Amino acid sequence: MLAKRIIPCLDVKDGRVVKGVNFVNLRDAGDPVELAALYDQEGADELVFLDISASNEGRATMVEVVKQTAGEISIPFTVGGGISQVEDMKRILRAGADKIGINTAAVLNPDLISGGAKHFGSQCIVVAVDAKYNEELKDWEVYTHGGQKGTGLRAIQWVQEAEARGAGEILLTSMEADGTKDGFDLSLTKAVSNAVGIPVIASGGAGKVSHFYDVFTQGQADAALAATIFHYKEIAIPDLKKDLKSRGVEIR
């Protein structure tokens, strides 16, 4: 079994890290390059950068942030946001990213997944999925545009298609759990983990150490991503890893 990974997430807007609850009410959480270097030192296994600025200025800022960060850290990092074609991927990878995260652009143009995988390899392509339970569908629905637009797509079918098209990982965010600190959505995570053969990164809802244990054991996630609890020093990564190891979770 592969060792489980702990991944801090930096939501970057206009060159600063921000965090909200259920995708809204954003507040400042610091400088992305400084935070990235800190997480590297603390033993994070990877980092995820999500550029949530929609403007061209935000995307230009992200390229600079990626370059600066690449010089400060030794762990892999994924960059997503504003990436809608293979050329965008190339620019971000050249700036120092190890993987590319695509979400809305992949739903609008699924060929982007296969195009990216063909050019850079599946290990480079992370398909991010924002999902919320839909009572009418009696299933989880995929949302795009930062959680603003329901697509009618069923999350399980979409992750299977993403895998078939060459995605190397799924970054799965439960919109209902995001920022709540009430725990990961275990049923969603388990359903997606069982539906694909590629690693699933669980995101949304981490609030305490036991939530990570639950998502690795019950949710069957390969990695767990969190933001608020790390940014505001509520849980230290070394302490989290020590606790998980003591409970029998294979961790790096």
The tens digit of pLDDT for each residue in 231-247 reads: 889 999 999 999 999 99
Q: Is the pLDDT of residue 88 over 80?
A: yes
Check if the beta carbon of residue 51 is closer than 8 Å to that of residue 82: yes
Largest alpha-carbon pair distance within the chain?
Answer: 48
Of 239, 168, 251, 164, whose CA–CA distance to 215 is shortest? 251
Structural domain spans, the chain: 5-246
Task: Quote the tokens at residue 138.
Answer: 């009696």
- pLDDT grade, residue 54 (50/70/90)? low
* CATH label, 5-246, candidates 3.40.50.2300, 3.40.50.970, 3.20.20.70, 3.30.365.10: 3.20.20.70
Q: What is the arithmetic mean of pLDDT over 60-70? A: 85
- State pLDDT tens for residues 16-38: 888 665 555 666 777 899 999 99
Residues designated catalytic? 11, 130
Contact present, 90 and 118 (Cβ < 8 Å)? no
pLDDT digits (tens, 9 = 90+) for 115-173: 999 999 999 999 999 999 999 999 999 999 888 899 999 999 999 999 999 999 999 99
The answer to pTM > 0.75 is yes
Per residue in 213-226, pLDDT tens?
999 999 999 999 99
pLDDT of 22: 55
pLDDT tens-digit readout, 164-199:
999 999 999 999 988 789 999 999 999 999 999 999
What's residue 148's pLDDT?
Answer: 86
Q: What is the mean pLDDT of residues 52-76?
A: 80
What is the residue whose two structure tokens read 């909200």?
Answer: 20
